[in-house]
Amino acid sequence: MRAMKRFMVDTKTGLNPDGGCAVDWSWLAGEEIAEVQSSLDTITFRFKSGQTFEVTARLWKGAPFVAFKPHERPRK
């Protein structure tokens, strides 16, 4: 039952039952990394298709927080 719970998302808030954000990772399937750049708080992947994916680590309300850009499937 726990495994199924992780995939359920509240359509109003976009959060899973544990209060985390729901991220659609399916668009990354088949992508090939062309370049990676990083800074103190961000790592950016550029794919051969031209799409980019950015992961940023920050603090939110005093707690660690990871943000993804894009956080949903990019429009083509």
**Assigned domain for 74 exists:** no
How far is the C-alpha of 12 from the C-alpha of 20, rounded, in Å? 13
Residues 29-73 pLDDT 10s: 899 999 999 999 999 999 999 999 999 998 888 888 888 887 677
Per-residue pLDDT of 27-36, as tens digits, reads 888 999 999 9
Whether this prediction's pTM lies above 0.85 is answered by no
Residue 76: inside a domain, yes or no? no
pLDDT band at 4 (very low <50, low <70, confident <90, very high): very low
Stronger pLDDT, 33 or 2, i.e. the higher one: 33
Report how many domains make up the chain: 1
Asked, for residue 27, whether it belongs to a domain, the answer is yes
Where in the sequence is the domain holding 17, given as residue range(s)?
Answer: 2-69
For the beta carbon of residue 36, count every other beta carbon within 10 angstroms: 9
For residue 3, is pLDDT > 50?
Answer: no
In degrees, to the nearest 5, what angle opens at C-alpha 58 toward C-alphas 9 and 19?
20
The C-alpha angle with vertex 66 and arms to 54 and 37, in degrees rounded to 5, equals: 30
Task: Return d(Cα 60, Cα 53) in angstroms, integer.
Answer: 21
